[in-house]
Chains A and B, each alone.
Chain A
């Protein structure tokens, strides 16, 4: 079984600052995927960024980037030039690769509540 740990229950930064959210995971799998999802007050789950474990290059999506350290089982999210609309709960999630074409569920961390102050 996999576990995902987010050690920061809440973080607060000023608008335009850069913030890094931490995530560590534990697995015996070699092929897997990692995700960050954002959940604003509307409670919609929005995909922020994804990373394939077999890729060494860190994923980037506009202001969002990750620092993926496979050996350390660490997957942090960096948000640059933070905006008020980034205020949300951020969940780190793990999914193992299913070579048989099936559909495995996501294992989520407990989340980090990020508050962007004006």
Chain B
């Protein structure tokens, strides 16, 4: 079965640089979520999109922005990177109908800021 695809899987950046993470949801899933998981921490919800509109907002820093495109893929843009942004970033998607509340997670993008 198709899963959520995230790219890149690993990313190394310097402080103050920018990064763009991409997420391709499971086919026929129209909802995308972004989470940040620091070392030894639980995942923290950042932001979600439903039908290409921002739906819910969590603890996303002002330096981060995200959008969902017409093909339902999503991108998380991170600027002025800080050491504390080093984390595992998950994208999740949920279906249009049926168990629409169930989120299926991608493998994550490991971001290291030096």
Say which one of A16-24, A66-74, A78-86, A108-116 lies at the interface with B.
A108-116
With A43-B88, A45-B105 known as contacts, the answer to whether A105 contacts B42 (CB < 8 A) is no
Q: Which of B43, B47, B88, B99 has the most CB of A within 10 A?
A: B43
B17 interface residue (CB < 8 Å to A): no
* Cβ A44 vs Cβ B108 within 8 A: yes
Q: Does A60 count as interface, using CB distance less than 8 angstroms?
A: no
- Report the minimum CB–CB distance from A99 to chain B (whole Å): 12
Task: Tell me whether A76 is interfacial, beta carbon within 8 Å.
Answer: no
| Number of chain B residues whose Cβ lies closer than 8 Å to a Cβ of chain A | 30
Q: Range of interface residues on chain A?
A: 20 to 34
Which residues on A sit within 8 Å (CB–CB) of B46?
Answer: 105
Is B14 part of the contact surface with A, judged by Cβ < 8 Å?
no
Judged by DSSP, the binding face of A is: loop
Known: A44-B105, A91-B42, A110-B42. A104 touches B55 (CB 8 A): yes
Main secondary structure of the interface of B (DSSP, over half): strand
Given A45-B105, A47-B102, are A103 and B56 neighbors across the interface (CB < 8 Å)?
yes
With an 8 A cutoff between CB atoms, is B101 at the interface? yes
Q: Contact at B55–A45, with CB atoms within 8 Å?
A: no
Is the CB–CB distance between A50 and B99 below 8 Å?
Answer: yes
Q: B58: which A residues are within 8 A, CB to CB?
A: 105
**Closest Cβ–Cβ distance, residue B38 to chain A (whole Å):** 12
State how many angstroms separate the Cβ of A59 from the closest Cβ of chain B.
12
Q: Does A95 contact B (CB under 8 A)?
A: yes
Known: A43-B88, A108-B42, A109-B42. A103 touches B49 (CB 8 A): yes
CB contacts (< 8 Å) of B64 on chain A: these are none
Within 8 A of B (CB), among A19-72: 33, 35, 37, 43-47, 50
Binding site for A on B (CB under 8 A): 31-33, 35, 37, 41-50, 55-56, 58, 88, 90, 92, 94, 99, 101-105, 107-108
Where the two chains meet, the residues of A that have a C-beta atom closer than 8 Å to any C-beta of B are 33, 35, 37, 43-47, 50, 91, 95, 97-98, 101-111
